[in-house]
Amino acid sequence: TDTGMKLSKNKIFARVSSHQAADLVVQLSPAPKSKPAEVDFGSVFTDHMLTVEWSLTEGWQAPLIRPFGNLSLHPACSSLHYGIQLFEGLKVYRGDDGRLRLFRPTLNMKRMASSAKRACLPAFDQSELLECIRRLVEIEQDWVPHSNSASLYIRPTFIGTEPSLGVKKPARALLYVILCQAGSYFDTKNEAVSLWADPKYTRAWKGGSGDCKMGGNYGCSLFAQYEAEDYGCQQVLWLYGDDQQITEAGTMNIFLHWINEDGEEELATPPLDGIILPGVTRQSILDITREWNEFLVSERYLTMAQLCSALRQQRVREMFGSGTAAMICPIGHIFYQGENLHVPCQDQQITSRLAKELTDIQVGARTHARTQKTEVNDVSR
């Protein structure tokens, strides 16, 4: 075990702190775990984790890769009492060439920085954090599955650790990154999911933090999620406002492939207006389908009235959710106002095509001008 190995000098986060951070230090685990063949999503973690501490008086401390283990937190920790906390989610893929690739990680770093600003947590250097993550992935590369249907999930987390019950901007914080193997997110594998739509619950609202990846956005959704299961549905279709705007599906962005009111073939998704999470997969779907140039691709408001009308008139072709964990997930049924609405999904022409193109890009089987040039980071270099 090397308990003091220093990597090349990176001066991690030095550009956003008066304190010059020390070089990345690696402490390797003396007892690596055996790697299971197949696990549930988010249940088995790798041997190491990355931690970086921050304080108002000293700035960012030395980033440390150390054996995976529990955190020690003060009972008055601000993240526990006031939800000063956020996280990110991205994946590492192993290509047929054996190389490991992160899919558009700079978008995750940008979103994480935006969430940190909203949570009053300190700024960090996005490129330096990404380099620390890249090094952690190198150390844990044997955990990346040799499969196009599985990957290694990366969970950067940022929490306030202020040991005080005062409601204020934290003077102490901890940024850490853990990794776990990731197979299928839903038990349904390739089957379409069912959604429960009821306007009595709201996921996010104008002026809130729905466009940030904060834990509170997810914890407060559980009550509605379990009520959806009481109705025989797997996820919640979140509605907003008096006109019942369609916003997100469970923890996914949502897309509707239809013939719109003007008779045009269209792929539509709700706009980023402050209540929609700017998903990386969402943006990738928009980029890819606009490159196809085969139909109208729009970021526009969609309401339940519009959807119900389109379903009655048989103008809906497909509906699906997207996200880092689920990637592309077809939607088959929506339970709304006592009626089980059937959504066409037998052909899955768009969902299947998108799933293949995204997978091919993620594992390096094909290139995409927008992602290959600036967003895809190859960790094997």
pLDDT (tens digit, 9 = 90+) per residue, 91-114? 999 998 889 999 999 999 999 999
pLDDT band at 133 (very low <50, low <70, confident <90, very high): very high
Q: Measuring CA to CA, which residue among 274, 232, 265, 271 is closest to residue 253? A: 271
Q: Which CATH architecture best describes the domain 21-182?
A: 2-Layer Sandwich (3.30)
CA dihedral 162, 169, 201, 213 (to 10 degrees): -80
Kindly state the helix (H) or strand (E) to which residue 221 belongs, with its residue range. none
Q: Where in the chain is the domain with CATH 3.20.10.10?
A: 193-363
- Return the beta strands (E) in 143-189 as ranges: 151-160, 172-182
Band the pLDDT of 16: cuts 50, 70, 90: very low
The mean predicted confidence, pLDDT, of the chain is 88
Work out the angle between the directed axes of helices 126-139 and 105-118 (0-180°, nearest 10). 120
Higher pLDDT: 326 or 173? It is 173
Q: Rounded CA gap, 28 and 78, in Å? A: 30
Can you state the percent helix, strand and coil of the chain, rounding each to 5? 25, 30, 45
CA-to-CA distance for 66 and 48, rounded, in angstroms? 5
pTM of the model: 0.89
Q: What is 193-363's CATH number, 3.30.2020.10, 3.40.120.10, 3.20.10.10, 3.40.830.10?
A: 3.20.10.10
How large is the average pLDDT for residues 117-139? Answer: 95
Q: Residue 190's pLDDT is what?
A: 55
Using DSSP bridges, classify how beta strands 252-259 and 316-323 pair: parallel, antiparallel or unpaired: antiparallel
Q: Is the pLDDT of residue 369 over 70?
A: no
**What's the pLDDT score for residue 326?**
74
- Range in 7-21, 52-66, 206-220 with the lowest mean pLDDT: 7-21
pLDDT in tens, 293-333: 999 999 999 999 999 999 999 999 999 999 988 789 999 99
Nearest Cα to Cα of residue 168 among 51, 86, 81, 88: 81
pLDDT > 90 in the chain, percent? 77
Q: Per-residue pLDDT for 119 more than 60?
A: yes
pLDDT of residue 17: 40
pLDDT band for 262, please (50, 70, 90 cuts). very high
Closest by alpha carbon to 334, among 323, 346, 345, 326? Answer: 345
Q: How much is the pLDDT for 148?
A: 74
* pLDDT surpassing 90 at residue 187: no
Task: Give the mean pLDDT of 202-224.
Answer: 95
Higher pLDDT, residue 20 or 62: 62
Q: Is the pLDDT of residue 173 over 80?
A: yes
Give the separation between CA 66 and CA 72, rounded to whole angstroms: 14
Question: For position 14, what pLDDT does the model report?
Answer: 36
Question: pLDDT tens digit string along 226-261?
Answer: 999 999 999 999 999 999 999 999 999 999 999 999
How do residues 108-117 score in pLDDT, each as one tens digit? 999 999 999 9
Q: Which residues contact residue 167 at a Cβ distance below 8 angstroms, ignoring those fewer than 6 apart?
A: 82
Domain with CATH 3.30.470.10 in the chain: 21-182
Decide if pLDDT at 5 tops 70.
Answer: no
Average pLDDT estimate for 10-17: 38
d(CA 48, CA 342): 45
Whether 167 and 160 have beta carbons less than 8 Å apart is answered as no
CA-based nearest residue to 110, from 250, 212, 15:
212
- CB–CB of 206/274 below 8 Å? yes
Q: Say which residue, 279 or 348, is predicted with more confidence.
A: 279
At 371 the pLDDT is 44
Asked whether residue 209 carries a pLDDT value surpassing 50, the answer given is yes
Taking CA atoms, 48 is separated from 42, 64, 67, 72, in Å, by: 15, 10, 4, 16
**Tokens at 129, concatenated:** 């954090």
